[in-house]
Amino acid sequence: MSQPVANCPSCGAPVQFRWSSAVQTVCPFCRSILVRADLDLKLAGKVADLPPDPSPISLWTEGTYRGKSFQVLGRILYQWENGGWNEWHIVLSDGSSGWLSDAQLQYAVSFLVSPTPALPAAAEVFRGKQFDFNQASYEVATITRASYKGVEGELPFPFYGKSNMLFADLRTSGRAFGTLDYSDQNPALFLGEWVEFEELQLKNLRQFEGWQERSS
């Protein structure tokens, strides 16, 4: 991966992009949210300190998915009425990027479907509704309204200051998994699968007391 470097417009510190296609990052020195256009960085706000996280995954964690190595380069932390979850932005060895969802010791890997197929309006989505994508049948299992809680690291799109975002989780009879994402004006579809923690062969994990007991 090429690693372009620029200076933070807030504190002047060097900011290095590990992924050449990153659009947003967070300055590791002053916690400014920086949106990138080539090597010009625009200050978009500040990130508050993130709350304590029980996940062993962190920035720079490495793993393997379907024979390709990946590294965690960013995170979006969401909050909803019953808790929160992490969406870890992963970049694979072939340069593609996806998401590793991490919620209550459940993990799923998914990728943005592009070009975007015809998707239903948010008002047409409800639990039990069925959709066919990529020759598979999906059912809406949960609908969640969430708010932005924080970000860190590199992301493929600018993301800050959002609230009341709607997500519809899609399940199948097998491991296939999907999400209808209505956080922007134009909805997006992410498809992937549930995975077991051990399958990902993760390393560079965050170590803390009690984690092994909870994850075993």
pLDDT band of 212, cuts 50, 70, 90? low
Q: How far apart are CA 103 and CA 85, in angstroms?
A: 5
Q: Are residues 36 and 99 in the same domain?
A: no
Q: Of 151, 169, 173, 171, which Cα lies nearest the Cα of 160?
A: 151
Quick: pLDDT tens for 115-128: 999 999 999 999 99
Do residues 168 and 158 make contact, with C-beta atoms less than 8 angstroms apart? Answer: no
Q: Are residues 88 and 169 in the same domain?
A: yes
Q: Are residues 184 and 151 in the same domain?
A: yes
Task: Kindly state whether residue 178 falls inside one of the protein's structural domains.
Answer: yes
Task: Kindly state whether residue 184 falls inside one of the protein's structural domains.
Answer: yes
Q: Are residues 83 and 178 in the same domain?
A: yes
Percentage, residues of the chain above pLDDT 90: 62
Residue 152 structural domain: 62-197
φ and ψ at 109, to 5 degrees?
Answer: -110, 130
Number of domains in the chain: 2
Q: Are residues 103 and 29 in the same domain?
A: no
Task: Kindly state whether residue 207 falls inside one of the protein's structural domains.
Answer: no
Q: Is the peptide bond before 115 cis (omega within 30 degrees of 0)?
A: yes
Q: Are residues 190 and 138 in the same domain?
A: yes
Task: Kindly state whether residue 56 falls inside one of the protein's structural domains.
Answer: no
Task: Kindly state whether residue 42 falls inside one of the protein's structural domains.
Answer: yes
Q: Are residues 36 and 77 in the same domain?
A: no
- pLDDT for the residue 145: 94
Q: Are residues 67 and 145 in the same domain?
A: yes
Q: Which amino acid is at 108?
A: A
Decide which of 203 and 159 is more confident.
Answer: 203
Task: Kindly state whether residue 130 falls inside one of the protein's structural domains.
Answer: yes
Task: Kindly state whether residue 51 falls inside one of the protein's structural domains.
Answer: no
pLDDT at 213 over 50: no
Task: Kindly state whether residue 159 falls inside one of the protein's structural domains.
Answer: yes
pLDDT band of 211, cuts 50, 70, 90? low
Q: Are residues 96 and 175 in the same domain?
A: yes
Q: Are residues 110 and 159 in the same domain?
A: yes
DSSP 213: H
Quick: pLDDT tens for 143-175: 999 988 888 999 998 876 678 899 999 999 999
Q: Are residues 79 and 156 in the same domain?
A: yes
Q: Are residues 81 and 185 in the same domain?
A: yes
pTM of the prediction?
0.86
